[in-house]
């Protein structure tokens, strides 16, 4: 039983913290990017309503959409990595 406790308090615990930190970091970045995209969409909506649509109001939306897509991919990968880690633990100790 002591070996199991050592594993949980040592390497497994450190890797679990690393995986969770990765998910949190990706989630925070995704949230920031989503908020920026919402702001850009709101500005574009205002420009469309006033009839002042130009390239400068469309570019931030396109850029934000691409960035959010990338952040979504990163967040999904963080969850996949965490799931793989948990499956590895379950097969070892389950």
Q: Give the model confidence (pLDDT) of 70-84 as tens digits.
A: 999 999 999 999 999
Q: 94 versus 30: which is more confidently predicted?
A: 30
Q: According to the model, what pLDDT value does residue 2 have?
A: 45
Q: 15-64: per-residue pLDDT in tens?
A: 889 999 999 999 999 999 999 999 999 999 999 999 988 888 899 999 99
d(CA 51, CA 47) in angstroms, rounded, equals 6
């Amino acid at each position: 039983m002591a070996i199991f406790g050592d594993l949980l308090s040592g390497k497994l615990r450190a890797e679990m913290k690393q995986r969770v930190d990765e998910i949190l970091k990706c989630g925070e970045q995704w949230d920031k990017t989503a908020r920026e995209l919402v702001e850009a969409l709101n500005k574009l909506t205002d420009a469309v309503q006033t009839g002042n649509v130009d390239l400068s109001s469309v570019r931030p939306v396109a850029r934000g959409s691409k960035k959010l897509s990338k952040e979504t991919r990163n967040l999904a990968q963080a969850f996949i990595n965490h799931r793989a880690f948990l499956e590895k633990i379950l097969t070892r100790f389950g």
